[in-house]
Chain A
């Protein structure tokens, strides 16, 4: 085999085919999720972990958008909250079966995000971020003002059915079982995103992120893939919102507030968005740090802020990104030895 042929073959290593290791990691992640409630005896810790996993899913959605489209959303709570409100309102008015309401609660924000994406992804950088903030706050304002529909600031309890897909509703309300469900879904979401980024579509969106103009000049329409990426990230956020609504059985305008979008962004920054699981790691750190600092002082946000500053300065790729770089360096050093 000539050197040229070998290099071309090497370049094809990054093909969409998934390695055995990817499948093994997925199985391992699922096994950890199923095993953890047996190891962690404290319900409080499991509750915290469940919240962290739900927050992690929202952050994974935000991180995916940064990774694939190269833009930052300050308004992803919109899709999280719209999903929660959709489920709540559909069940409250008893217009559909709970299972169908779940599907709609995912479909509505995803489709809305896609249609909105067709407009806002044309706007670059900070302007895009500001638009997402505006959209998010518009939803929040609507939830606050539309008293007749949303019960305004007070929110409302979601009348959950007794069973869901044949399972008792307690499955989604007890931390022992809800943690397993959320963790498994998070693992599947990250795996699904991994498959997506390795697919021709994923490679194209990376190319567009790198150089949109060049992508157009090699024959691609760039708005559609960017809007689709935005919709995928919104879908992940919506799934997180749905889990939140099921777990808490309550929805209020807080789930649409910009501060939730900001928290998700902080999680993505702490964990790093280069790796798909980075934001999830950031979420776990965020929630435990919040809990730890919250027990010590009411000024816990200052400690989160300090963590963000430290991570941004010392680890621009985030904690997961830095760990990956370190692992890569060790691997290379091991290869040379």
Chain B
């Protein structure tokens, strides 16, 4: 660690997509241990921002820092070794391998393998022998998250982890995330469309619109922001 107050930081991040900028000079800094929500309408640039921070998409301009260290040139696997992990909008697992096999493979790259712990936390202990493609969708989503949680990452980037889950499953996931983040001291950047999840667990929220930061603040501040209400949340907020 370099003594930086921020676990993950993006400065003036820009990333073109087709003929426009999906992310345009975005500044974002998430302090250690914080759960930061990232919301915005479709096409706001949320997933692209996560992709740029995680190394899935190259930085076009700007800087990505982890614990104050520039990691912009590092590939996904090196970022993982630095303690950054992510989940994906579409379930991203190894369908033909058993749940246990894939978590074991992930654990081989972890300094402190914690397969049993992760399986237990995510309710996957009964599914160890099951082939991933054969388990229910909600369980696959949890497996996707489990792959990211192996080795207790310090920074967790989650791209719509509750997508496709029932309301009960989403709230269960939210509680679990809050709990894990506190116990494991994980910094979380969470992209999520389920506002109940976001507003219930996030310490602060960043709102993106058309690739730019529209607002940033606590959940209460975001709820009260006229700009946000107009641009995104609508009267339902």
A residues with a Cβ closer than 8 A to B are: 3-4, 7-8, 10-14, 200, 203-204, 206-207, 210-211, 213-221
Contact = CB atoms under 8 A, between A and B. Distances in A.
Contacts of B109: 218-220
B126 A218 contact: no
Nearest to A11: B100
Contacts of A7: 125-130
B172 interface: no
Contacts of A220: 77, 109
Interface string B126-149: 111110000000000000000110
A203 B125 contact: no
A215 to B, nearest CB: 8
A4 B125 contact: yes
Nearest to A211: B94
Contact of A11 (B76, B96, B129, B150): B129
B99 interface: yes
B87 to A, nearest CB: 9
A219 B148 CA distance: 10
B126 A210 contact: no
Contacts of A14: 98, 101
B77 A207 contact: no
B47 to A, nearest CB: 14
Interface stretch (B78-86, B192-200, B202-210, B216-224): B78-86
B101 A211 contact: no
Nearest to B144: A214
A8 B150 contact: no
Contacts of B104: 203
A8 B86 CA distance: 25
A207 B94 contact: yes
Given A4-B126, A200-B108, A218-B147, A211 B86 contact: no
B92 interface: yes
Given A8-B119, A216-B76, A217-B54, A207 B126 contact: no
A210 B143 CA distance: 15
B41 interface: no
B96 A210 contact: yes
Given A210-B94, A221-B77, A204 B129 contact: no
A207 B131 CA distance: 13
B97 interface: yes
A207 B104 CA distance: 11
Given A4-B125, A7-B129, A8-B100, A219 B94 contact: no
Contact of A218 (B99, B125, B128, B150): B150
A218 B96 CA distance: 17
Contact of B129 (A10, A211, A219): A10
Contacts of A215: 94, 105
Given A211-B94, A218-B85, A219-B106, 20 more contacts: A4-B119, A4-B125, A4-B126, A4-B128, A11-B99, A11-B128, A200-B105, A203-B97, A203-B104, A204-B108, A206-B94, A207-B97, A214-B88, A216-B76, A217-B54, A217-B56, A217-B77, A218-B106, A218-B147, A219-B77
